[in-house]
Amino acid sequence: MLERFPDRVFSFDEFGPLGIRPTGGSCWAPAGHPERHPATYHRTHGVRYFHGCYSIGDDTLWGVNRRKKGAANTLAALRSIRAARPDGAPIYVILDNLSAHKGETIRRWVRKNRVELCFTPTYASWANPIEAHFGPFRQFTVANSNHPNHTVQTRAMHAYLRWRNQNARHPDVLDAQQKERARIRSEKGIRWGGRPALAA
């Protein structure tokens, strides 16, 4: 699939939970004046999940924040993927085998709309291509942040997506993707009986 029809292959997954709290990270700051985040004791905003879609052929990432995971939100994401290729030709979507991804309503819709769901094995999220893109997403929108609410957090995420899709080959994006792939490979080795790589 990936070699023969890259423009027909997509990837989907949820990223989260996303809470409203100060999150550590790195940034530029004047010498001797580090940027400090306040402590937080009350979590009154709830959480959100970013439902992300990735076009492998176009190297384009998009998605929306939802209050929870669920079949209805998965179907909405699949509809947006189908709309990205409206010519009616078959498309393939790589996703994990969460129960919210394979209900009867979803299965009926994919049969009708020529969408084939390609489920990764259990505990094999590293096999999903979108996972590597969640690393830069986390680094540029969550790390070193102190969003006051989910609305502001969502705006920051959408601003990053617009910038990222115009600068997909930016060195900072590629570096963050490489680090995330290394982290995922390390997790893969531990999951499947391997040993974590030792620091040089």
Q: Which of 196, 158, 146 is nearest to 21 (CA)?
A: 146
DSSP string for residues in the chain: -TTT-GGGEEEEEEEEEE--S-B-------TT----PPP-----S--EEEEEEEETTTTEEEEEEESS--HHHHHHHHHHHHHHSTT---EEEEE---GGGS-HHHHHHHHHTTEEEEEPPTT-GGGSTTHHHHHHHHHHHTTTB--SSHHHHHHHHHHHHHHHHH-TT-HHHHHHHHHHHHHHHHHHHHHTT--PPPP-
d(CA 159, CA 74) in angstroms, rounded, equals 23
Query: Model's pTM, two decimal places?
Result: 0.84
Backbone φ, ψ for residue 178 (5° rounding): -65, -40
pLDDT of res. 188: 58
| Size (the chain), residues | 200
Task: Break the chain into its structural domains and give their ranges.
Answer: 6-18+46-191
- What pLDDT sits at residue 181? 86
Please choose, from the candidates 178, 132, 140, 130, the residue with its C-alpha nearest in 3D space to the C-alpha of residue 161.
140
Which CATH superfamily hosts domain 6-18+46-191?
A: Ribonuclease H-like superfamily/Ribonuclease H (3.30.420.10)
Mean pLDDT by 10 residues, the chain (200 residues): 80 92 75 75 85 95 94 96 93 94 94 95 85 90 89 94 94 90 72 48
Residue 192 has what pLDDT? 45
Q: What is the pLDDT at residue 28?
A: 66
